[in-house]
Amino acid sequence: MNANSSNNSNPEQNNNPRASDSSTDVSTTNSPSHDRSAPTTTSSGQGQQMWGGRFSEATDSFVAAFTASVGFDQRFARHDIQGSIAHATMLKECDILEADDVATIIDGLHQVLREIEAGEFNWSIALEDVHMNVESRLTDIVGAVGKKLHTGRSRNDQVATDIRLWLREETDNIIALLVRLQSGLLDLAEQHTDTIMPGFTHLQTAQPVSFGHHVMAWFEMLYRDTERLVDARRRINQMPLGSAALAGTTFPIDRTITAELLGFEGICQNSLDAVSDRDFAIEFTSAASILMMHLSRMSEEIILWMSAQFNFVQIPDRFCTGSSIMPQKKNPDVPELVRGKAARVFGQLMTLLSLMKSQPLAYNKDNQEDKEPLFDCVDTLTGSLLAFADMLPNITPNKENMRAATMKGYATATDLADYLVRNGVAFRDAHEVVGNAVALGIKEGVDLSDLSLAQLQQFSDAIGDDVFEYLTLEGSLAARDHLGGTAPNQVKQAVSRGRTRLEIFA
Ligand code: ARG
């Protein structure tokens, strides 16, 4: 079961959790070691677990460690306490608990939070999860009145509430990073509306585009990602609290009070659904996966463009590393790593979908497995965006190399065809004429604009001496002068619209 079974350094591995000190520190233990040589049961010390009343034997120590989530869900501590304070306040407002008791409970909860934030809290595996650790410490501090907090509530609605409060905050943080990144891209695009680079299809030179236009394509991708997250946030921000274990509670609670205190914009309408579904987390992870797919595509471009073969851009040295053997190397580690990390986020999406697909209503312990994938997804995305928000707006194009590359691939061939069409040639015929001209250019080793008028005219008498203004890169760019086109003047307008559009997220 665990290759590490000879490692007995954690005293709790050798003792039944009930018989051991319940304050065993697990703050650094994410996956407790599973020691099969440890005694599995004890006949003494029953009743220490919060739900121990109906049990006739103690939990197997391995099972206690295996089923505990406190190693990771302690990350919710602040949100758990925030939820408990709102719940207690509501119980008072609805005359379910006495005002004095609630005041004592809230003071106690603040103290628990202070201890956690100061790193002085002893997390215990025996107490299973963040919820019971907090409640148990509350009762240590305030005495028996602490035991009233769980009135009209279950860990099932409690954990669903914690995840949503936490994810709402993380989503806001991610949206803020996205806005920072997009606003940096707008600045970059604005500086390069008339910087010319080859546009590609099939990674073959296709038509000249403005580098600013390319950057604005990235902006658009990220803009939709932001919209997706803003939209997902509305469904994250619904309150399950009050659903209790699965069916609601017999106490006369008022869920609008807790919803308002916790800033939820809506209340989950069905208690069975509220405690069980994690679709809001799956939706977040889907949006995160699409976003990571976009960051990965951008990474791929940066990596290609930094190669000696392209030599289109520089990224600041702080995003690169060298090679231990090849002194000349400057490797684009950050974009490479982000490209790799996209795979990881896609994997977490599959984990969450698979976790949910076979669960009957309502809460099942399977759902405890929702946390680590979600944490990893949030951390990976946040890290990738932090790197990108600083790196991407600071790339420097090598204008001369980009221009030279554009000159190489007959990028203005379509412009010549369009010119012929305007002079009365049908497009399919024009396509043929230009194909012949390109073949001659390849044979002579020159660009279309370097062929003489006589050379061009042998393919079509619709070609006049004004043709050369259409064969220049600047002419080609400027001609695509409509909404969404690459003309520098259009890119300028796209940047200014982008600034306005971004304001709704700020
Ligand atoms: N640690 C549990 C989770 O993450 C909390 C809810 C436990 N509820 C229960 N009935 N065992 O899902």
End residue of a domain, out of 118, 134, 151: 151
Q: Please report the pLDDT score of residue 341 as a whole number.
A: 98
Q: Which residue stretches of 208-359 are H helix?
A: 211-236, 255-262, 271-276, 279-306, 333-357
Q: Please report the pLDDT score of residue 12 as a whole number.
A: 37
Q: Is residue 4 part of a domain?
A: no
Are residue 164 and residue 290 in the same domain, yes or no?
Answer: yes
**Going by CA atoms, what residue is nearest to atom 2 of ligand 1?**
368
Q: Please report the pLDDT score of residue 26 as a whole number.
A: 57
120: three-class secondary structure by DSSP? coil
**DSSP codes, 200-217:** EETTEEEEEEEHHHHHHH
- Residue from 155, 276, 356, 364 whose mutation best tests the ligand 1 pocket (most atoms within 8 A of CB): 155
End residue of a domain, out of 356, 378, 403: 403
Strand runs labelled E in 334-470: 396-397
**Any atom of ligand 1 within 6 Å of the Cβ of 80:** no
| pLDDT, tens digit, 9 for 90 and up, residues 360-404 | 999 999 999 999 999 999 999 999 999 999 999 999 999 999 999
Atom of ligand 1 nearest to the CA of 367: 12
**Any atom of ligand 1 within 6 Å of the Cβ of 195:** no
Are residue 214 and residue 360 in the same domain, yes or no?
Answer: yes
Distance CA 298, CA 202 (A): 16
Cis ω before 437 (30° cut-off from 0): no
Is this prediction's pTM over 0.95? no
Q: Please report the pLDDT score of residue 25 as a whole number.
A: 52
Q: Is residue 298 part of a domain?
A: yes
Q: Is residue 1 part of a domain?
A: no
Residues with Cβ within 8 Å of residue 94, at least 6 apart in sequence: 251, 252, 253, 254, 257
- Residue from 123, 125, 156, 157 whose mutation best tests the ligand 1 pocket (most atoms within 8 A of CB): 156
From the list 202, 324, 358, 482, the catalytic residue is 202
Total tally of structural domains belonging to the chain: 3
| pLDDT, tens digit, 9 for 90 and up, residues 235-268 | 999 999 999 999 999 999 999 999 999 999 999 9
Are residue 118 and residue 225 in the same domain, yes or no?
Answer: no
Q: Please report the pLDDT score of residue 34 as a whole number.
A: 41
Are residue 375 and residue 250 in the same domain, yes or no?
Answer: yes
Residues with Cβ within 8 Å of residue 222, at least 6 apart in sequence: 178, 181, 182, 185, 291, 294
End residue of a domain, out of 357, 386, 403: 403
Residue 256 CA to ligand 1 centre (angstroms): 24
**Any atom of ligand 1 within 6 Å of the Cβ of 276:** no
Q: What is the CATH number of the domain that holds 121?
A: 1.10.275.10
Are 249 and 283 contacting, i.e. CB atoms less than 8 angstroms apart? Answer: no
Q: What is the CATH number of the domain that holds 304?
A: 1.20.200.10
Are residue 188 and residue 293 in the same domain, yes or no?
Answer: yes
**Any atom of ligand 1 within 6 Å of the Cβ of 368:** yes
The pair of three-digit structure tokens given for residue 140, joined into one six-digit string? 């240590």
| pLDDT, tens digit, 9 for 90 and up, residues 48-105 | 577 777 887 877 889 999 999 999 999 999 999 999 999 999 999 999 999 999 999 9
Q: Is 23 a catalytic residue?
A: no
- Residue from 26, 278, 366, 368 whose mutation best tests the ligand 1 pocket (most atoms within 8 A of CB): 368
Q: Is 308 exposed, middle or buried (0-12, 13-18, 19+ CB in 10 A)?
A: exposed
Its sign, for the CA torsion 215, 216, 217, 218, is positive
Are residue 248 and residue 272 in the same domain, yes or no?
Answer: yes
Query: Which residue range forms the structural domain that includes residue 33?
Result: 11-151
Q: Is residue 501 part of a domain?
A: no
Q: Residues of the chain whose pLDDT is less than 70? A: 1-48
Residues with Cβ within 8 Å of residue 19, at least 6 apart in sequence: 42, 44, 45, 58
Residue 275 CA to ligand 1 centre (angstroms): 10
